[in-house]
Amino acid sequence: MATITAAEVFVTSAGRNFVTLRITTSDGVTGLGDATLNGRELSVASYLRDHLVPLLLGRDPARIEDMWHYLYKGAYWRRGPVTMTAIAAVDTALWDIKGKVAGMPVYDLLGGLARDGALVYGHASGQDTAELLDDVARFKDLGFRAIRAQAAVPGSPASYGVRHGDGQGYEPAAASLPDEQLWHTEDYLDFAPRYLTAVRERFGFGFHLLHDVHHRLTPTEAGQLGHRLEDLRMFWMEDPVPAELQDNFRQVRAATRTPIAVGEVFNSIWDCEQLISERLIDYIRASVVHAGGITHLRRIFHLAELHQVRTGSHGATDLSPVSMSAAVHLDVTAANFGIQEYMAHDPLAFEVFTPGYTYRDGALYPSDAPGLGVEFDEKAAERFPYDPRYLPVSRRRDGSVHDW
Ligand code: GCO
Ligand code: MG
Per CATH, domain 4-104 is 3.30.390.10: yes
**Domain limits, the chain:** 4-104, 109-369
Query: How much is the pLDDT for 163?
Result: 81
Beta bridge partners of 174: 390
Q: What is the pLDDT of residues 105-119, one digit of tens each?
A: 999 999 999 999 999
Q: Ligand 1 center to residue 296 CA distance, Å?
A: 21
341 C-beta closer than 6 A to ligand 1 = yes
> Closest Cα partner for 10 from 52, 40, 41?
41
Query: How much is the pLDDT for 159?
Result: 83
Output the CA torsion sign for 221, 247, 37, 294. negative
**Whether the Cβ atoms of residue 176 and residue 186 lie closer than 8 Å to each other:** no
- CATH class label, 109-369: alpha beta
Query: How much is the pLDDT for 165?
Result: 59
Hey, whose CA ends up nearest to atom 12 of ligand 1?
Answer: 316
Hey, whose CA ends up nearest to atom 13 of ligand 1?
Answer: 38
The predicted model scores a pTM of 0.97
Query: How much is the pLDDT for 166?
Result: 55
214 C-beta closer than 6 A to ligand 1 = yes
Q: Which ligand is nearest to the CA of 315?
A: 1
318 C-beta closer than 6 A to ligand 1 = yes
Query: How much is the pLDDT for 59?
Result: 98
Q: Which ligand is nearest to the CA of 162?
A: 1
Atom of ligand 1 nearest to the CA of 316: 8
- Distance between CA atoms of residues 338 and 217, nearest Å: 25
Q: Ligand 2 center to residue 267 CA distance, Å?
A: 15
316 C-beta closer than 6 A to ligand 1 = yes
**Residues classed as catalytic:** 160, 214
Residues of the chain with pLDDT under 70: 165-175
Domains 4-104 and 109-369 share a fold: no
How many Cβ atoms sit within 10 Å of the Cβ of residue 130? 12
Ion ligand 2 nearby residues (CB, 5 A)? 212
Distance, CA of 296 to chain centre: 15
Hey, whose CA ends up nearest to atom 6 of ligand 1?
Answer: 38
Query: How much is the pLDDT for 347?
Result: 95
Q: Ligand 2 center to residue 94 CA distance, Å?
A: 28
333 C-beta closer than 6 A to ligand 1 = no
**Whether the Cβ atoms of residue 218 and residue 252 lie closer than 8 Å to each other:** no
